[in-house]
């Protein structure tokens, strides 16, 4: 991995409201092309290791902290770590090529010590190692105005790095709308898979007015370790990326490794494999704008590869995507496979790009899509070569395979 670089303009308790969730996806093509690049965005998709927040939960001895960083990068394939700030930790993260996400619920505290926070962020605003600042991740009830205030403060104190602030199960997302990473946790594999797209679309709607991106607190034990857990963790990532996820914070370090020896257990090895799968795409994912359209095919098999009962009328759609079927006049039309697609502008240019995710965590898909724009050619990002490769068009249709639970990037040029 390249050393993190300063983010800069690159070339080239309900989910908001029932009205937002019921709104169809945007079709206006310029909706995904903000006039000014968001300089707070890191230049890579973030896979963040965290061992709690709100206090110093990481090894305090320099040698132990450095050993942990080596393990996280070399064995866990993480590229970012959440921790309380110190100059020594910043230097070690820089040395090992990991981003730092600074915990502003530790010391200094964003609300309890605003002057100290402002002074620190003033020093860090040109840091090539800092990726973001972590604020809150809880149910906040009537305290939404305070959450919004803290986000505004942080992003004013440091205009080059963003705020990562979250809620539970979509509650109060409108208060987090100005965060660079509008974040949520629902642990949907344990608490109801139907929550996945419902909450992702709520985050997406909140992030759209400010060219934000999605963040997510992700569980590390969604299934049986060494078996289905890998599939479910990957599926969470891929479905979220299609909806605009650009930073995943994995909950929690002590659940995936021994925090004394830094040895990964079976859950940690599953997550390491997921991180390794996504790692070749990280820089490309960061170049995808927030989707201007999110559309889904119907499905006959669910997340768990189980049959879906047909409805009395029409076709079955994944929960949360009932209003997001492909419009008949959209320039991309599904011809085969069961997937969700987020369509964005690429790298703040006029080019369109799609992230296409398999709905099924346990079975692959043969995706086929009809392209109605004859002046465009589809190019698939190959994770093995880290290059875009032309897809063959036959009668305006192209196709490719997606692995179980995974996703793919298709650029149109």
Residues 151 and 247 in one domain: yes
**pLDDT tens for each residue of 168-186:** 988 889 999 999 999 998 8
In-domain check, residue 12: no
* pLDDT given at position 401: 98
pTM of structure: 0.91
* pLDDT given at position 33: 55
CB 378 within 8 A of CB 393: yes
In-domain check, residue 216: yes
**pLDDT tens for each residue of 83-111:** 999 999 999 999 999 999 999 999 999 99
Q: Rounded CA gap, 388 and 175, in Å?
A: 38
* pLDDT given at position 34: 62
* pLDDT given at position 37: 84
Residues 333 and 388 in one domain: yes
Residues 211 and 267 in one domain: yes
To 10 degrees, the CA torsion angle through 109, 114, 119, 125?
A: 70
Tokens of 371: 């392209």
In-domain check, residue 316: yes
- The CATH number assigned to the domain holding 59 equals 3.20.20.80
Residues 372 and 272 in one domain: no
Residues 123 and 255 in one domain: yes
**Residue, of 31 and 40, whose pLDDT is higher:** 40
CB 213 within 8 A of CB 181: yes
Mean pLDDT along residues 144-166: 94
Number of domains in the chain: 2
In-domain check, residue 213: yes
How far from 201 is each of 183, 292, 383, CA to CA, in Å?
A: 12, 12, 27
- Give Cα 400 to chain centroid, integer Å: 23
Q: Rounded CA gap, 281 and 62, in Å?
A: 31
* pLDDT given at position 137: 79
In-domain check, residue 95: yes
Q: Which region, left, alpha or beta, applies to residue 262 given φ > 0 means left and ψ of -120 to 50 means alpha?
A: left
Q: Which domain holds residue 297?
A: 293-412
Determine the straight-line distance between the first and last CA of the chain, rounded to whole angstroms: 27
Length of the chain in terms of residues written = 413
**pLDDT tens for each residue of 13-33:** 333 333 334 344 444 444 455
User: Do the strands 378-382 and 397-402 form a parallel or antiparallel pair, or are they unpaired?
Assistant: unpaired
Q: Rounded CA gap, 331 and 410, in Å?
A: 14
In-domain check, residue 374: yes
**pLDDT tens for each residue of 254-310:** 999 999 999 999 999 999 999 999 999 999 999 999 999 999 999 999 999 999 999
Per DSSP, 297 falls in state: -
Q: Share the mean pLDDT of the chain.
A: 91
- The CATH number assigned to the domain holding 306 equals 2.60.40.1180
Residues 24 and 141 in one domain: yes
Q: Rounded CA gap, 236 and 127, in Å?
A: 31
Residues 40 and 98 in one domain: yes
Tokens of 3: 């050393």
* pLDDT given at position 299: 98
Residues 206 and 246 in one domain: yes
Coil vs helix vs strand at 23: coil
* pLDDT given at position 35: 58
Residues 189 and 257 in one domain: yes
In terms of Cα–Cα distance, which of 190, 203, 302, 309 is closest to 247? 203
In-domain check, residue 147: yes
Residues 136 and 29 in one domain: yes
Count each helix (H run) and each strand (E run) in the chain, helices first: 11, 19
Q: Rounded CA gap, 209 and 281, in Å?
A: 26
């Amino acid at each position: 991995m390249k050393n993190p670089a300063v983010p800069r303009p690159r070339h080239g308790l309900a989910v908001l409201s029932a009205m937002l969730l019921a709104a169809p996806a945007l079709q206006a093509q310029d909706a995904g092309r903000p006039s000014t690049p968001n300089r707070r965005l890191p230049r890579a998709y973030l896979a963040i290791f965290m061992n709690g927040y709100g206090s110093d939960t990481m090894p305090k001895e320099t040698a132990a902290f450095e050993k942990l960083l080596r393990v996280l990068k070399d064995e866990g394939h993480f590229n970012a770590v959440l921790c309380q700030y110190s100059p020594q930790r910043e230097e070690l993260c820089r040395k090992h090529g990991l981003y730092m996400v600074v915990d502003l619920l530790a010391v200094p505290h964003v609300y309890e010590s605003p002057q100290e926070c402002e002074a620190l962020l003033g020093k860090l605003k040109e840091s090539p190692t800092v990726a973001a600042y972590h604020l809150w991740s809880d149910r906040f009830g009537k305290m939404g105005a305070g959450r919004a205030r803290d986000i505004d403060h942080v992003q004013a104190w440091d205009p080059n790095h963003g705020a990562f602030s979250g809620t539970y199960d979509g509650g109060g997302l409108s208060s987090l709308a100005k965060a660079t990473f509008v974040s949520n946790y629902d642990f949907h594999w344990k608490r109801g898979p139907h929550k996945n797209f419902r909450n992702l679309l709520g985050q997406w709607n909140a992030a759209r007015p400010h060219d934000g991106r999605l963040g997510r607190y992700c569980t590390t034990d969604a299934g049986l370790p060494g078996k289905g857990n890998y599939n479910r963790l990957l599926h969470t990532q891929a479905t979220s990326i299609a909806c605009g996820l650009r930073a995943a914070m994995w909950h929690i370090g002590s659940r995936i490794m021994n925090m004394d020896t830094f040895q990964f257990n079976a859950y940690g090895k599953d997550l390491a494999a997921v991180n390794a799968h996504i790692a070749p795409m990280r820089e490309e994912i960061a170049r995808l704008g927030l989707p201007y359209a999110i559309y889904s095919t119907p499905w006959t098999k669910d997340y768990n590869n189980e049959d879906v009962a047909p409805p009395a009328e029409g076709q079955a759609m994944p929960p949360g995507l009932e209003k997001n079927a492909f419009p008949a006049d959209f320039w991309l039309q599904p011809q085969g496979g069961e997937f969700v697609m987020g369509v964005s502008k690429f790298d703040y240019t006029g080019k369109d790009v799609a992230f296409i995710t398999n709905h099924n965590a346990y079975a692959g898909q043969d995706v086929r899509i009809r392209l109605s724009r004859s002046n465009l050619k589809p190019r698939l990002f190959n994770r093995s070569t880290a290059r875009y490769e032309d897809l063959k068009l036959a009668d305006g249709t192209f196709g490719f395979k997606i692995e179980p639970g995974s996703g793919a990037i298709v650029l149109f040029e």
